[in-house]
Amino acid sequence: MGASLYEFDAHDQADLLRRGEVTATDLAQAHLDRIERWDADLRSFVTLTPEAALDAARAIDRAGRAGEGFAGVPTAVKDLTATAGVRTTMGSRLLADQVPEVDAHVVRLVRDAALVSLGKTNTPEFGLSSYTDNDLVGPTSTPWRVGLNAGGSSGGAAAAVAAGLVPWALGSDGGGSIRIPSSCCGVVGLKPTRGRVSPGPLGSDWSGLASDGPIARTVRDVAALLDLIAVPQPGDARFVGRPAEPFAAVVDREPGRLRVAAWGDPYLPDVATDPRVKAVWEDGCRALAALGHDVEVIDNPFPPELEPQFNVVWSSGMAAAPIPPEAEPLLRPNTRYWRRRGATHSAAELAGAMQFLETTTRSAMSSLADYDVFCTPTLAMLPQPHAWFTATDDPAEAHRRELLFTPFTAVDNMAGIPAASVPFGRADGLPVGLMLAAHAGHETTLLSLMGQLEASVAWPTAPVDPVEDIRSKTHDDGLRHLSQPKSIILRHPGDRE
């Protein structure tokens, strides 16, 4: 085989299983060995389940199921997501010993597909932060430079995938929590359309902001994992249904000539995009134009008034969590901050905020009706040191820093549209994500374009070894074989000829 087992993506691992070159037990053990070697540095897992993983792998081998679909391929589950019989802490000391009796819907689907979970990946307390740190195992690092945060809240999942601890993993995204760490860790992460992935009979997404979704090193793996979890259920409040064909079937299909709206500046005043990040985004726009798409740079179509209303919804959900007053001191300062803010809002204010988000994002999306895809930076900054997020004792300042870091992602949650981060470029030896989004229900367009871009631009697909100061090819190197257009088209939607 040449390469180590952990370097293969999920598709190639499944192919090795089908050909009988490895067993499910071999794969599980290889990844567990990799975790033992590197996770003390990364802290990507909260709970490891090696015995259960090896037992599951051996059962798959005995039943002759290895390589049946993706049966026997390792994965991991974010620690926000209930997993029967496995400690699920939600990143909080309050739930350090919680062991659910039932699986979340997406976990049941993964079990039904006979993927082998190696454990629960790290997340900030209750998934509230755009960085991953908690009082249980501490901060998660990006494998590209230990000491810089992996992003959040699916930071453990993204770091584990990037370092080859698992080929793919389940994440969740309520304001960018799949895409933020995917950018920091140099992997592919997709937040689906609102309602595409069902919360199942026991789950709830009352605000419409959050969704489970896939993180992987390749677009085809992201599409295949989405196929496994995008299974509608009776009673779904936001029914999207299944596509006419599998998402994985469109990754290698030419998307046709698409109209791409691109903006590189945040919608928030006093927040700017780091010039190094903006340079990667500009290269991404040129790459899309070189592939034959019509790229127009426009002003950010989302108004800044969305931010305070989003915070009403976000904080109200945290304030509603059934946490007794005597337990409040055990919470992290960030969690207490959001609970205090949420407690000040009335039911009428919450209803008004939800209506504002719906009507305002609908107006913005209507203004984008002539476009197929939207292209922005994923983040406004490069990955930051752990302490940059936590050094201040002022929670309002800590929140401001998070806005400086990630001012692009949350609007896609507000609008309910599919959005993905792809590891397009590098700056100062660190990964920089390019974010692509589409209209609601159009994951196929998005995945087809992502597949085309992946095939045309050299972004790394093999895991990196943590600790090392990786300085691989710059984003300019990846464009070496694309013909360069003279310029990106600069005009507004109303200026069409």
Domains annotated for the chain, with CATH where assigned, are 5-255+378-481 (3.90.1300.10)
Q: Measuring CA to CA, which residue among 242, 284, 248, 485 is closest to residue 377?
A: 284
3-state secondary structure of 344: coil
Q: Cis link prior to 153 (omega < 30° from 0)? A: yes
Task: Tell me how far apart the alpha carbons of residues 410 and 124 are, in angstroms, rounded to a whole number.
Answer: 17
- Other C-beta atoms closer than 10 Å to the C-beta of 54 total 17
Residue 461's pLDDT band (boundaries 50, 70, 90)?
low
pLDDT over 70 (residue 47): yes
pLDDT in tens, 413-455: 999 999 999 999 999 999 999 999 999 999 999 999 999 999 9
Q: What integer is the mean pLDDT of 99-109?
A: 97
DSSP secondary structure string for all residues of 148-200: BB--SSSHHHHHHHHTTSSSEEEEEESSSTTHHHHHHHT-EEEEPPTTTS--T
Q: Measuring CA to CA, which residue among 82, 104, 89 is closest to residue 47?
A: 89
Q: What integer is the mean pLDDT of 156-183?
A: 98
* Backbone torsions φ then ψ of 431, nearest 5 degrees: -70, 145
pLDDT in tens, 302-322: 999 999 999 999 999 999 999
Task: Tell me how far apart the alpha carbons of residues 169 and 149 are, in angstroms, rounded to a whole number.
Answer: 18
Given this model, what pLDDT does residue 473 score?
32
- Other C-beta atoms closer than 10 Å to the C-beta of 321 total 15
Task: Tell me how far apart the alpha carbons of residues 478 and 215 are, in angstroms, rounded to a whole number.
Answer: 22
Given this model, what pLDDT does residue 462 score?
63
Residue 469's pLDDT band (boundaries 50, 70, 90)?
very low
Say whether 153 is catalytic.
yes
pLDDT over 70 (residue 492): no
Residue 241's pLDDT band (boundaries 50, 70, 90)?
confident
Q: Measuring CA to CA, which residue among 255, 270, 172 is closest to residue 219?
A: 255
CB–CB of 73/31 below 8 Å?
A: no
Say whether 172 is catalytic.
no
Q: What integer is the mean pLDDT of 383-400?
A: 95
Q: Dihedral (C-alpha) 224, 226, 232, 237: value to the nearest 10 degrees?
A: -170
Q: For residue 388, what are its two tokens?
A: 């940059």
Residue 465's pLDDT band (boundaries 50, 70, 90)?
confident
Weakest mean pLDDT among 331-335, 456-460, 488-492: 488-492
Catalytic residue among 44, 117, 130, 153: 153
183, amino acid identity = S
CB–CB of 98/81 below 8 Å?
A: no
Residue environment code for 402-426, b if the CB has 16+ CB neighbours within 10 A, otherwise e: bbbbbbbbbbbbbbbbbbbbbbbbb
Strand ranges (DSSP E) for 116-159?
A: 116-121
CB–CB of 284/434 below 8 Å?
A: yes
CB–CB of 420/179 below 8 Å?
A: yes
Catalytic residue among 117, 129, 154, 177: 177
Say whether 177 is catalytic.
yes
Given this model, what pLDDT does residue 466 score?
82
SS3 content of the chain, % helix, strand, coil (to 5): 40, 15, 45
pLDDT over 70 (residue 482): no
**What is the overall mean pLDDT for the chain?**
92
Query: What share of the chain has pLDDT > 70, as a percent?
Result: 93
Higher pLDDT, 202 or 90: 90
Longest dimension (CA), the chain: 65
Our measurement of the distance from residue 368's CA atom to the centroid of its chain's CA atoms, rounded to an integer in Å, reads 24
CB–CB of 153/129 below 8 Å?
A: yes
Catalytic residue among 44, 78, 120, 198: 78
pLDDT in tens, 246-278: 999 999 999 999 999 999 999 999 999 999 999
93-99, long-range: CB < 8 A, 24+ apart: 93/135, 93/136, 93/330, 94/323, 94/327, 94/330, 94/331, 96/136
pLDDT over 90 (residue 29): yes
